[in-house]
Every structure is written in structure tokens, then in C-alpha cells.
Amino acid sequence: MVTQNQKKGSGMDIRSVGVIGAGQMGNGIAHVMSLAGYEVVLSDVSQEALDGATSKIEKNMARQVGRGLITEDEKNTATGRIRTTLQLADIGGTDLVIEAATERETIKQAIFEDLLPHIQPHTILTSNTSSISITRLASRTDRPERFMGFHFMNPVPVMQLVELIRGIATDEETFATCKGVVDRLGKTAASAEDFPAFIVNRILMPMINEAVYTLYEGVGSVQSIDQSLKLGANHPMGPLELADFIGLDTCLAIMNVLHDGLADTKYRPCPLLTKYVEAGWLGRKTQRGFYDYRSDAPVPTR
């Protein structure tokens, strides 16, 4: 809802948030938004995905209760703020929309085109994209000045950073509004310019890609590469383990965005990464990637 007589650049009052996509990122975004007091409408094309999201949110909040991070009453109140729907049009009544669909530009563009007839004049549109041009996505809508990147880190309830990415037309009020939402979530906003993969993935994905090249060229095994970065660089997860957690299809998509957008051969995706994606070995979500997760303990696949 827009409040009256707001100062320019001070931001508008956000009371409801629409989240498009009930996958790993979408359910995490719905989780933190509801705990922060926002009314949430979570949309997906799959009822199974919506059911899975509500179940996961309930489970993750119960874990927070068990750790003393929130109370049982706070959990129950927050889950009561989340409404799910198969109809994209139901998102239209919200003040802020966060698109968290598959990392494919054509899919994101189609979602925004379908949503446009249903949203309010003041509604802010954002994308949780980890790499795609915000300016280009915004240009396909009727409100490029009210469009920006709102990139959460995975897992959303745990990770403290949110990248806020202005498109070339994003106005100051939109940025201030989104910054205010991040503050209310208790997270930290990092302002990034609209260049391929922004900040985190501009640095992280080439490291992962180089780890895959190191495996591809036989310099080290899956286990030795991950062990070296965990013990030698004090990383909490090895790069190949992290790639499996993110999803190898997502890693490949971001590397392709970097390679296409910056035209530099240093961003060329490793052929082995491409091969794993072609095989459907996408990491944890398919039970096989650089590790096989089908037994009690992950086993390296190379």
C-alpha cells in the first residue's frame, strides 16, 4: 500500500509480498518474509511444488523454534501469513513481487508479461535472478523504473546477504523501498551494478568452474579438490560440493551468462560441467552430481 505525502526517495510502505516460484529459493523467501510480518502470496504452476514448499517452511520454522530463534507463537503466526495459489493473477494485489522461477530469461520474461495485466500501479517488480540483466528484464515490462534485482543467497533463512541490483531505469524510491525490506528482514544489502552475475556469482562461479577444470584436467580428484579448499582456504564447503548444492544446471547457466555477456574466454564453461548437466546429474536435487547422494554418505562420482 502506498502511504500519502512520502518524501521522494524515502520508499513506499510494503505490506504484502508476492513470490513467484515455490522451489528452493521461493519457499525460503516466503519463509523470511512471513516471519518479518509481511502477508505473502506464494505462486507456482505445480500444486506439488506448493505443497512441498509449505511443508518445508513448516519444517524449517520448527527447527528455528527448537533452536530458540523464534517462538511457537511466532511460527504459527508467520505460517498463517502465507497463502499459496496456482493462479499467477492472485499475485497482482501485492505491493512487492519477487520472481524466483527457473534461471532462464525466456521463462522470466513470460512470467512478467502474464503478470502485468493484474498488478497495481504502485506494485514494484523484482527478480531473484542470480545473473540475468535486470535492465533487459525491466524493459519488457510497463514499469522499468519500478523494477530491480532482489537476489537472495541460498539457503535464504540462514544467509545474511541480499544483492540489490538497479537496472538503468530503476528510480531511487524503488531502491529505497527494497532496501527497507532487506533491513526489516534483518539482513544486509549489497548494492550491485547491473553487469553479468553481479557481485557474488561474478566471483564465485568462475572459482567453481575452475575447480571443475581442475577435475577435468586430472590435477585432483573430487575429494582432494574439496578437501584442499576446505582445509587450505578455510572454506566451509568445497567448490564441487557447493556446486552440487547450488545445482549444476544453475552453475552452467550463470557461466554462460558471464561468457556471453563479457565475451572473455576466462568465463568459458568447463566441458565436464556441461557433460554433467547433459546427463541430468545436477547435484543434490537429482541425487547425483560430483557426488552420488543415493546412499547414507555422499560418494564422489569421479
pLDDT band (50, 70, 90) for residue 68: very high
Give residue for cell 502474464.
114
Residue range 192-208: mean pLDDT, rounded:
96
Give the per-residue pLDDT at 11: 78
C-alpha to C-alpha distance for 77 and 79, rounded to whole angstroms = 6
Q: Give the pLDDT confidence of 207-220 residue by residue, as tens digits.
A: 999 999 999 999 99
- Cβ-count burial 48-87 (b if 16+ within 10 Å, e if not): ebbeebbebbeebbeebeeeeebeeeebeebbebbebeee
Q: What pairing do the DSSP bridges indicate for beta strands 291-292 and 147-152? A: unpaired
Read off φ and ψ for residue 216, nearest 5 degrees: -60, -40
Rounded to whole angstroms, the Cα distance separating 171 from 10 reads 11
> Would you say residue 49 has pLDDT above 70?
yes
Active-site residue among 130, 131, 133, 209?
130
State yes or no: pLDDT of 110 exceeds 90. yes
Please tell me the pTM assigned to this model.
Answer: 0.88
* pLDDT tens digits, one per residue of 142-174: 999 999 999 999 999 999 999 999 999 999 999
pLDDT score of 103: 87
Fold of 16-192: Rossmann fold (3.40.50)
Mean pLDDT, rounded, for 232-246: 97
Given a cut of 60, whether residue 6 has pLDDT beyond it is no
Q: 187: Cβ–Cβ under 8 A, 6 or more apart, which residues?
A: 32, 159, 160, 161, 162
Kindly report the average pLDDT of the chain as a whole number: 95
Nearest Cα neighbor of 152 from 21, 243, 281, 12 is 21
Q: Are strands 96-99 and 82-85 parallel, antiparallel or unpaired?
A: unpaired
Q: What percent of the chain has pLDDT over 90?
A: 94
Residues 167 and 139: their CA atoms lie apart, in Å, by 9
Residue 204: pLDDT band (50, 70, 90) is: very high
Active-site residue, from 39, 105, 163, 173: 163
Active site residue 228: no
Over residues 69-88, mean pLDDT: 97
Bridge partner list, 151: 163
pLDDT at 10: 65
Mean per-residue pLDDT for 102-114? 94
**Calpha distance 179→94 (Å, rounded):** 18
Report the first-to-last Cα separation within the chain, whole angstroms. Answer: 53
- Residue 202 reports pLDDT greater than 70: yes
Identify the architecture of domain 202-297 in CATH. Answer: Orthogonal Bundle (1.10)
Instruction: Categorize the per-residue pLDDT at 7 as very low, low, confident or very high, splitting at 50, 70 and 90.
Output: very low
Domain spans, the chain:
16-192, 202-297
Q: How far apart are CA 145 and CA 170, in angstroms?
A: 4
Concerning whether 151 is annotated as a catalytic residue, the answer is yes
Average pLDDT over residues 253-271: 95
Reduced to 3 states, what is the DSSP secondary structure of residue 40?
A: strand
Question: 299 by DSSP, 3-state: which?
Answer: strand
More confident residue, 2 or 86: 86
Query: What is residue 1's predicted lDDT score, i.e. its pLDDT?
Result: 44
Judge whether residue 3 has pLDDT over 90: no
Q: Quote the CA–CA distance of 70 and 64 in Å, as a whole number.
A: 6
Q: Which of 34, 103, 151, 173 is catalytic?
A: 151
